[in-house]
Amino acid sequence: MIQNLLDRALAQARPAVELGEPASYIPELGKVDKRQLGVCLYTLEGGRYSAGDTRVRFSIQSISKVISLAAALERRGFDTVFQQVGMEPSGDAFNSLVRLETSESHPSNPMINSGAIAVDSYLAPVISFEEMLAFTRALCLDREISLDERVYRSEMSNISRNRAIAYLLENKGVIQSDVEQTLDFYVKMCSLSVTAESLAGLGLVLASGGVDPNTGARLLKAETARVVKTIMLTCGMYNDSGQFAVRVGIPSKSGVGGGILSVVDRRMGIGIFGPALNQKGNSVAGEKLLEYLSAQLDLHIFAEQK
């Protein structure tokens, strides 16, 4: 029955791929076929459902911010992470640096670039990229995740805005470790190659409070999972997060590679790949898919019945 629903959801959302375009600010991302679409849904009871392009590798991009935040909470602790990074949705574009200069002197939250770069500056001195890769593979239940060298190089060649953000953070005293090392770490994390399946795996682990439901192994502290899900809900869909929470009501994080990671708490993980983006940077068809699934399966955090 869930499989039928996924198939219908895919069919209903597919036309929306025409309404968006792949990210263009990094040349390598612009080469992807925007008509691809896939959704993968894993339940805590062990159900595995897929429809469409769920095994195509694509660039994780901003969804890596969730993994970095989780790692930083585990390795550095809540108080260190949030000493100079806020938890407030900003209403600003993901790559904005205006607010750093005006009302506040620290990044609004860890889901925008400035906040994620700050978080990575706490990680880079204490964990190698290789360890982060292993951590990512474990969390996503996917041993095939690897660095996409072409995306990495393409992104390093178009880094001026993030470099500006990073040096402004250094100027504000938010970053105290090496800026260039932090940027390299940040870009590498953004350049990981995942599938819709990887994201469903990550969603499942978060839905179960940090435990791999297949093995029972605890991968994250319960508190880490709780913090990450809350911040995904309030800040995960760029400056469309509020509207998405009202309409869909599922903690999610999108990336400009076309992915969406979604967590239906204590029920399921959902992974989506749909590289046609709307103007906010979210997968157009992906959002449609999730709105449909939320309505059909009562997945909204405040759904009447579940």
Please state, in angstroms and as integers, the Cα–Cα distance from residue 71 to each residue in 36, 75, 76, 137, following that order: 31, 6, 8, 13
Interface with a second copy: number of residues (CB under 8 A): 53
Q: Which CB atom, from 160 or from 215, has the smaller least distance to a second copy?
A: 160
Instruction: Rule CB under 8 A: choose which of 2, 86, 129, 147 binds a second copy.
Output: 86
Instruction: Rule CB under 8 A: choose which of 40, 70, 97, 196 binds a second copy.
Output: 97
Of the CA atoms within 13 Å of residue 117, those in its CB half-sphere come to 32
Determine the Cα angle at 282 with ends 240 and 101, to 5°: 55
Q: Which CB atom, from 145 or from 227, has the smaller least distance to a second copy?
A: 227
The alpha carbon of 295 is separated from its chain's Cα centroid by a whole number of angstroms, namely 22
161 binds a second copy (CB under 8 A): yes
- Strand partners for 211: 218
Instruction: Rule CB under 8 A: choose which of 24, 171, 181, 279 binds a second copy.
Output: 171
Q: Which CB atom, from 27 or from 86, has the smaller least distance to a second copy?
A: 86
Measured between its terminal Cα atoms, the distance across the chain in Å is: 16
Is 62 catalytic? The answer is: yes
Least distance to a second copy from the beta carbon of 39, Å?
Answer: 23
**Which token pair is 209?**
């409070």
180 binds a second copy (CB under 8 A): no
201 binds a second copy (CB under 8 A): no
- Stretch of residues binding a second copy (CB under 8 A), selected from 8-16, 47-55, 135-143, 157-165: 157-165
Q: Return the closest-CA partner of residue 192 out of 274, 242, 133, 241.
A: 133
Is 186 catalytic? The answer is: yes
Least distance to a second copy from the beta carbon of 231, Å?
Answer: 7
Is 160 catalytic? The answer is: no
Q: Which CB atom, from 133 or from 179, has the smaller least distance to a second copy?
A: 179
230 binds a second copy (CB under 8 A): yes
3-state secondary structure of 58: strand
185 contact partners, CB below 8 Å, separation of at least 6 = 120, 123, 124, 129, 132
Find the helix packing angle between 129-139 and 196-207, rounded to 10°: 80
**Which token pair is 74?**
């585990």
266: left (phi over 0), alpha (psi -120 to 50) or beta: left
156 binds a second copy (CB under 8 A): no
For a second copy, the binding residues in 17-76 under the rule CB under 8 A are none
- Stretch of residues binding a second copy (CB under 8 A), selected from 4-12, 42-50, 132-140, 246-254: 246-254
Least distance to a second copy from the beta carbon of 218, Å?
Answer: 12
Our separate counts of H helices and E strands in the chain read 13, 8
Is 49 catalytic? The answer is: no
- Residues carrying an active site annotation: 62, 65, 186, 238, 256
Chain residues that interact with a second copy, rule: CB under 8 A: 86-92, 96-99, 101-103, 108-109, 160-161, 163-168, 170-171, 179, 209, 222, 225-227, 229-231, 233-235, 239-243, 245-246, 249, 251, 265, 300-304
